[in-house]
Structure 1
């Protein structure tokens, strides 16, 4: 080999080495924590209402990465919350009413089960009962979402480290007369059935449960107060409290946005949406300071065919007209709709949530954005 050729080979090797090093250095960081917020029944018009009716700038406006998901279930064009949440939790399409099972009714692993094997702390928060379809899909497996006592029993043996919501009666007023609250205590849970405390009062526990209503929590209009944003902040503090084991996954549901849609009650819906937006703010505040947390905000489906319409008024002579200076929330159905649903993401891996895709991809994108799908 000539001297000139040797120089060429050396330069080529150095070039490839540098490119490999640069590629390695430019590999995007993985998220260590994931906060998934699900506004049940929340479509684009529900989100838009915060921009007109919230007195402060909505936290939705803090996101730069936004996508859309298709939400159909395995057998229906329009999903329910059980099939929708199972898609998020387990990455499979299933039939309406199914909790943590595939279309053939076989159990499928959920995110809580997957990440707990890697010693990732987990939690669920909801303004409904904690046995309701959305939270249940992250820890339970039943062929029917209405099997609330079976779902409560699944919670007792699950890997959940923190939960907050309603549903006391499904633990201690059961047909089988078991007291599952005592079983939770045996499984190292601290239990509070009165009110959310502060972090200093619970940090000594290895697990924590807040059961603050017999069934669902009160609506905002009837005095629920700041439960959802406070529980969000408290749950994050609790799950990240151990220095040597501070990584976590938490799902936070604004349940009653959906119920306002079913009732065709715009005031109910908007008050719940604004409360949910406050919880989003708590998640983003933590993520911005932490730098290692992926925040995802989406919904299982839209409810009510909600629209921000111009207010219909009448002139003095009785003629109807649309007042474009005043907005009224209107509805086209008492049920769910098939509209595409927005996805908002912030933090490591957030860019992968842009685009249009199926709801099951939320599950897969979470695993891709973290190291949680690494079998080592």
Structure 2
């Protein structure tokens, strides 16, 4: 079986993928992120993710830090707009140790005041570091403007003002509301028998607090396209253009994934890389990306260039977008694009950590995980007509927003 599932007596869903590797992965994927914060508490989800490592009723921060490290394992976490993930990587023999620690973090975190003050400074430094990296900052700023006035329209790290107001009680409230069996799943990948994983889960996770709290996620309304240039003291101009796209349950997202790979995916033969870098030398890096949320999505194109070439790059990009809108791919072009994407997905499956994390996210939102064969069939079924329709729906110039840092 590609994966196995089970629901504990308290309602916590478990998914496990058997492998033959000596390295195992497990963790919690929580259906709570930046968009689930309240006004004045922006940055709280990320702050809680940091603070659960800083002390529980059973362990101090030093003990948490060393629990997996001393056996060669790792403990990690990250926050997105819609999820928080806490997970561990370790040799299979240390599964019980990892599950015990993860349970302690999500059930017994104390948010000690002295640690809170230190971690607040760490996150403020993280925010300042981000501001020093315009090629990363511009993605957040673009998304903030695209969803202005909505819960998706503020960055994950939060603001200095809101961070300075957060206290231990805020952390406890968020943890109690969000980290409960109905709002999270436990994922595992390794060679441990599933029966043992269930037995350990019943033992360690039975104390997860029950809660009826549900997030009130409202889809974003319409905002008109924008074209903004922000003055920054940078030698290079950084530019993003894009638009809202399909949510993660929209069938049309598959044609967009393929179209995105054709246009600005990781391959050196992508249309934009050939046009803006190989033929003209205007950029060092150009890429397109797709982000799918539960009720909306984003398609965007980023490039960095000499300021004198920014407008030329934009013209070339619109030329490629218009070509995709007006000229259908030939069958040979479509087959080649599918073959490339399927090859990339096959290579990506060798990254076991990302495979485990994606499995957790998919099970949280879809209640299942697609096999490699199922994904391949979806890609193979995409038609040239679907690609053309997707391009026409998203790539018209009047729908695209632009943000330039220089």
TM-score bracket for this pair, using the shorter chain length: under 0.3
Structure (1/2) with the larger helix percentage:
2
Q: What TM-score do the two structures reach when normalised by structure 2?
A: 0.25
Instruction: Name the structure, 1 or 2, with higher relative contact order (CA <8 Å, separation 6+).
Output: 1
